[in-house]
Structure 1
Amino acid sequence: MIDVARILLDSPLPQLDRLFDYAVPEGLSADAQPGVRVKVPLRSAGRMIEGWVIERAEVEPGGRPLSEVASVVSAVPVLPASLYSLARRVADRAAGSASDVLRLAIPKRMVRAEKTWLAADPPTAPAVTPDAAARARELTAIYPGLADAVLAGERIALDAPPHPTPGALRGAWSDLLAALAALVLDGGRSALIVVPDHRDQSQILEALAILVPDDAVVRDDARRSGPERFATYLRLLSPAPCIVVGNRSTVYAPAHDVGAVLVWDDGDPLLAEQLSPGVHARDAALVRQEEEHSALVFAGHTRTTDVERLVQLGWLRDIPAARRASPRVVLSATHEAEHRGARVPSAAFGAAREALQHGPVLVQVARPGYSPVLVCAECRTPARCRHCAGPLRARRPGATPDCGWCGRSAPNWSCANCAGTRFRMASSGSERTADELGRAFPGIRVIVADGDHPVTAVDARPALVIATRGAEPPAEGGYRAIILLDGDKMLMTEQLRIGESCLRWWSNAAAMAAPGAPVHLVGVTGPVARALATWTHPAYARMELADRAPLLMPPTVRVAAVEGVTVSVDRALAELREAVPDLGPLAVLGPVPTDDGSRALVRVDYAHGRAVAEQLRASVVADAVRGRRRGPGPRTTLRVRLDVPELDL
């Protein structure tokens, strides 16, 4: 019998996404245990490659001798069996590689951090005081049965309270999620809180500081240094429960005995993983819940169609608040006596003027900068860069415009349509809006909050806060009025989910209003405006699902993007139709030509999702092997991505 280690290689090559048997030398037998990282020879490449030991076994000698494990990188088992199982299932669902998932979950090894951790005393289980547990129960009482449902391991969809926490610079939603996590920790289990960005993370950490001791909270995000991240990861491997707060990769955190995974604002695009295999944190959380049978909560100020679909199927349980609360939303439009092009109607202008006597006012705009869009003053043709055809923009009045893509200036621009040489500002960015409103409200301080001017918080003094969507800073005590501008322009974006996105942007801003403060949505009518005004987001999501179902639009179906050289795409589609004959004639859209070949979309119902993922993955592997045999030239041209949110060919 031969002592064998079955190893998953840390390689992006799809044909290597399986377990390989390596003989374990006697000198490495004690350290080469499941979960540790090792180095092994790769015969086909003639080099060493790292991998993880997944399991040990004894096998009969075969006709061909096995290669031996070359060395053990570290004797610390950093890959628990539960994490490998999760990564394998997530990768299989997305037609990807398990090593790509593990690369997102396991940070790079830091030797000094590892030695420090091994020399330190193991962490102890943190305790939640009875007063804190009672306070947590009180915070969750506005949702009858919520706390018991989470402790029982149920799957829940939750509409978060849409108002700030009194006397604090955070939303009430953060107190609610912190309370649920504290109750899970009080029961001796870990909780994961997944949020889109650092601002949401800061609010959660502030809320947790009131309920649990500092050593109970583990911060997990990419803004930390390499040694800090690796030390944090080692802390999660210890058998002591904790509360993990971080971004999308936190959904894979190997915390001890996870009792609940809490996902905030799953509609935020920051929760969609850009790296291969591109699995959204929401989908990874659903897979993890099936693996571990922990509680799962999707909370937000809006309801995504993805979550509402699961509610309609009975997979998620909707728990409403005992008393429905909503901001005071006003649909504002210009009156007949007002100038047709007035950007701020008189009703919204009057509300802002009155609110500025008591505190800050938030004005949300679509874009940053001064004038993000310029047009020809003569024929209104959009002004384009002569080098790259990108849109020209103005950074300030009278300045030479520059390109929004390549950054080149355009001092001698002329219109390609009419040869005109004069510009006209066709839109107002955050800085131009600040100039205009600053003149309209003299003596009032104006604060610009966007990507170039990040603002973390605003005090209670009167101020005009001009913020782009998603960059709104919290205000002490909440904003005394909120004006949502450019809504009609936002809705004109050609995206399938633009209605959902706009409703989320507006709702997240409206939730920052002080109790009773008006929220004016300017110049927007229709279903999205009504959903905001009545605060009936689940109903809007249901309507969207009903509209998309007959058109086979996501998320009523799963959509896979297949792209690469034309011959590879055609072969993959032909193999898919042969392997899954029930796809139907409307399942495949395309292929259409692209810069490097062609691209096609495959629409499948969820019942066929596994079979389609397996077949597409087999096509990717086969194409990679064929490319390797061809010799020099392009390799692994076929690329597959499942659950793409848009039908974009």
Structure 2
Amino acid sequence: MPGGPIARVLVDSPLPQLDQLFDYHVPDRLREAAQAGVRVRVPIRSGGRIANGWLVELVESSEYAGTLSELDDVVSEVPLLTPEVWALVRAAADRAAGNASDILRIAVPNRYVRVERTWRAAESDPGELPPAPAPITGYEAGRVEKGIDDGERMALAADPRPVRLPSGEWVGAWAVTLAHAAAYTLAADRSSLLIVPDYRDQAQLQAALAAFVDSRRVLRTDARQTGGERFRSFLESTGEHARVIIGNRSTVYAPAARLGLIAFWDDGDSLQNEPLAPGVHPRDAALIRQGQSGAALCFLGHSRSVEVERLVEIGWVHAIPAVKPVRPRVIPTEQQANPEPGSARIPSAAWRQAQEAVREGPVLVQVARPGNAPLLVCDRCREPARCNACGGAITVPRTGGDARCVLCGTSASNWRCTVCEATKLRAATVGASRTAEELGRAFPRARVFLSDGEHPLLRVGAESALVVATRGAEPIADGGYRAVLLLDGERMLLRESLRVAEDCLRWWSNATALAAPGAPVFLVGVAGALATALSTWRQAEWAATELEARRALRFPPSVRVASVTAPPAAVARALDQARTAADDVDALGPTAFGEGLERAIVRFDYSAGAAVAKALRAEMIRAATERRRPVGGRPPKRPPVLRVRFDDPEVP
């Protein structure tokens, strides 16, 4: 074999058997361009194919005794995969029994040759480092700063108020807290990663950062950028200058010089869940990266997620209490001394307050769903009304007439509840569009704004207005809303999910935090512990109670889970391997999951995670490489598909 360096390459492939480093000889023509971290093209022996890959490292010798193939080409001119990011990706993939190349597709944006060459030719001027800001307010003086200096893992309760920036723009107080922490970190010439659920939160955070940090030090990495813009931001983050990098869930993998802080806003938001394989939640990736880098890790939110509560209880994350916690004025209408009789969607007390408040400024009305058609439920047991013919939802058409199925159009005149046999229907919720129309007629002198997925609205002024928004789409109002009406609480809680109560408490808490100080917030249709947690602003205590209930049932996050989907024989083999790998492994199912497939849910303690992941990963490789003999001259059948997903948010 000719002399020269050996390139260790990760092939970009979804096949589990290729999720390892392969050795290739670096030819003389590529020695200068072949650097650790660049994209490459390599031959694969099967069929003489050429595949894309990542050059992870260069070594002087190989353990392979045969003749090595040569690199075919070096694709990128700039090393994009830093050693720190590679270590994170490898550890995250192993934890989830996934492919490192799948995570790299999330972590590293597509290459744009013109952008890359322009960036190389330009001289980067990131501006001056900011001076150390004043102490972060709301907590013990210097406590958060000390945590950043010490690389501590912290959980902070956000101040539930809108605040005005020096520029005159209004943002949530949480955005100022994160911007303040990032500025403190940057003043020490260290980088920060600020991870938020969506572009609404990012817009507030960018506005808050402008008050502390030179905009040239701030980088965005999010899906709303063009491909070239995102790639340019990624290239900037690979440099030697400290930066503040903000964006959505993939930001946790961004390269950063001298990383000093990883901070999350609202880590429990469903938008933080990674839908692409292997489905690693950015919170888990951040915990790995914090351990590898020694940077501080901060979880900030109005409502603490149950996952963070578990970390607090085991002492892995430290809860930092507010010095003078602010408690909004929340009024659960179902817990009033004289509750509203009947089934009015907006109780009279809330209606009167809205009429008075709208004269002074904006009023927020949160609803469960967009659209016009009312969604119906059984009048007796409150189960969602489903068509007896096809199982579709039953609604009242916008044009009027009888209730009917949205899928097959069958009339509900002979409908009967499958749970309690009742025959009477009632409206559980009305869509945002129809609510806006109805309120527009009831408040003829007030402007009515609609904010949902199709009609996004980021902010409104301080003028008199009614803002009807679906949960999560509420715009921020200058000076805060003069009143907030949280409607359809009963309907929101009907969603079939383990996390429905946690999600609702977070939606309501975030909407409540948009109210002006002292403004009334009416929670309609909800009583019990959830309403008490919101009205007393003790979400962390509710999270602790919820975690204890899940612990008794062995539900996540008290234990880890993995879903296994495959033909019945493959599922049985995978379950046997998982049980052999560790103690205290149990399974729910298997149950039918599509044509010819079954799914089982494996539950195990956190200490057994590595062993179970390794066992299931080995079974995935075995299933993928299994050879089938031809039968009757026909070509062999494809090997059975075995899909494994760890910590699936939709399970159980």
Fold-level match, TM-score > 0.5?
yes
In the alignment, does 2:566 pair up with 1:567?
no
Range with bigger deviation, 224-233 or 142-151: 142-151
Partner of 1:640: 644
Change (3 A) 1:232 1:403: farther
Shift of 1:45: 4.2
Question: How far apart are the structure 1 equivalents of 2:153 and 2:462?
Answer: 39
Matched with 1:461 is: 463
Which position in structure 2 is the counterpart of 1:151?
A: 149
Distance in 1 (CA, whole Å) between partners of 2:425 and 2:550 is 41
Residue 322 of structure 1 deviates from its aligned partner by 1.1
- The aligned counterpart of 2:302 is 301
Distance in 2 between the 1:423 and 1:340 partners? Answer: 15
> Contact 1:620 / 1:636 at 8 angstroms: preserved in 2?
no
Using the TM superposition, give the Cα deviation of residue 341 of structure 1 relative to its aligned residue in structure 2, in angstroms. 1.1
Matches within 5 A, 1:62-461: 64-124=66-126, 126-128=128-130, 130=131, 133-135=132-134, 137-139=135-137, 145-166=143-164, 168-333=169-334, 338-374=340-376, 382=385, 384=387, 389-394=391-396, 396-398=398-400, 410=409, 413=411, 417=415, 427-461=429-463
Q: Out of 52-61 and 226-235, give the one that drifted further.
A: 52-61
User: For residue 421 of structure 2, what is the aligned residue in structure 1?
Assistant: none
For the residues of structure 2 that align with 1:63 and 1:101, how far apart are their CA atoms? 31
More displaced 10-residue stretch of structure 1: 361-370 or 156-165: 361-370
Q: In the TM superposition, what is the alpha-carbon distance from 1:413 to its structure 2 partner?
A: 4.2
Change (3 A) 1:627 1:572: farther
- Deviation track 1:390-409 (CA, whole Å, cap 9, x = no partner) reads 325456242798875x6x7x
Q: RMSD over aligned Cα, in angstroms?
A: 2.7
Distance 2:71 2:243 in 1: 35
Structure-2 separation of matches of 1:389 and 1:546: 35
Is the contact made by 1:376 and 1:383 (CA closer than 8 Å) also made in structure 2? no
The offset of 1:150, in angstroms, is 1.4
With over 3 angstroms needed to count, the CA separation of the structure-2 counterparts of 1:629 and 1:327, relative to structure 1, is farther
Identity %: 49
| Distance in 2 of aligned mates of 1:337 and 1:28 | 78
Q: Residues 140 and 146 of structure 1 are in contact (CA less than 8 Å); yes or no, is this contact kept in structure 2?
A: no
Q: Which residue of 1 aligns with 2:13?
A: 11
Match of 1:595 in 2: 594
The farther-off stretch of 452-461 and 140-149 is 140-149
SS in 1 for 2:86: helix
Equivalent position amino acid for 2:484 in 1 = I
Secondary structure of the equivalent of 2:54? strand
**Residue correspondence of structure 1 range 494-533 to structure 2 within 5 A:** 494-533=496-535
Following superposition, the deviation at residue 140 of structure 1 comes to: 6.2
Q: Deviations over 1:131-179 (max 9, x none)?
A: xx334x2546666511221122111000000010135331010001000
Aligned partners of 1:305 and 1:541 also within 8 Å: yes
User: How far, CA to CA, are the matches of 1:94 and 1:592 in structure 2?
Assistant: 22
Residue 181 of structure 1: CA displacement?
Answer: 0.2
* CA distance in structure 2 between the aligned counterparts of 1:381 and 1:8, rounded to whole angstroms: 49
Alignment partners' CA distance in 2, 1:573 and 1:319: 41
The whole-number CA distance in structure 2 between the counterparts of 1:332 and 1:224 is 43
Q: CA deviation at 1:358?
A: 0.7
Distance 1:583 1:426, change over 3 A: closer
Aligned counterparts of 1:43 and 1:16: Cα–Cα separation in 2 = 12
* Contact 2:327 2:537 (8 Å CA) reproduced: yes
**Displacement of 1:62 after TM fit?**
5.8
Which of 37, 40, 43 is the matching residue for 1:38? 40
Deviation of 1:226 (Å) = 1.2
Superposition deviation, residue 647 in structure 1: 3.5
1:606-639 deviations in Å (ceiling 9; x for gaps) = 1111111111111111111116888654456101
Are the counterparts in 2 of residues 335 and 345 from structure 1 also a CA contact under 8 Å?
A: no
Relative to structure 2, which stretch is displaced further, 437-446 or 283-292?
437-446
Indicate yes or no: 2:578 matched with 1:576: yes
TM-score normalized with structure 1 length: 0.92
Secondary structure at the residue paired with 1:483?
A: strand
CA distance in 2, matches of 1:534, 1:16: 53
TM-score (norm 2): 0.92
Amino acid of the residue matched to residue 606 of structure 2?
Y
Residue equivalent to 2:419 = none
Match of 1:615 in 2: 615
Higher deviation after alignment, 260-269 or 590-599:
590-599
User: 1:541 offset after TM fit, Å?
Assistant: 0.8
Please list every run of 5 or more consecutive structure 2 residues that lacks an aligned counterpart in the other structure: 417-423
Question: How many residues of Structure 1 are paired with residues of Structure 2 in the alignment?
Answer: 635
| 1:226-259 CA distance string (max 9 Å, x none) | 1111111111111011100100000000011110
Q: Which amino acid aligns with 1:590?
A: G
What secondary structure sits across from 2:240 in the alignment?
coil
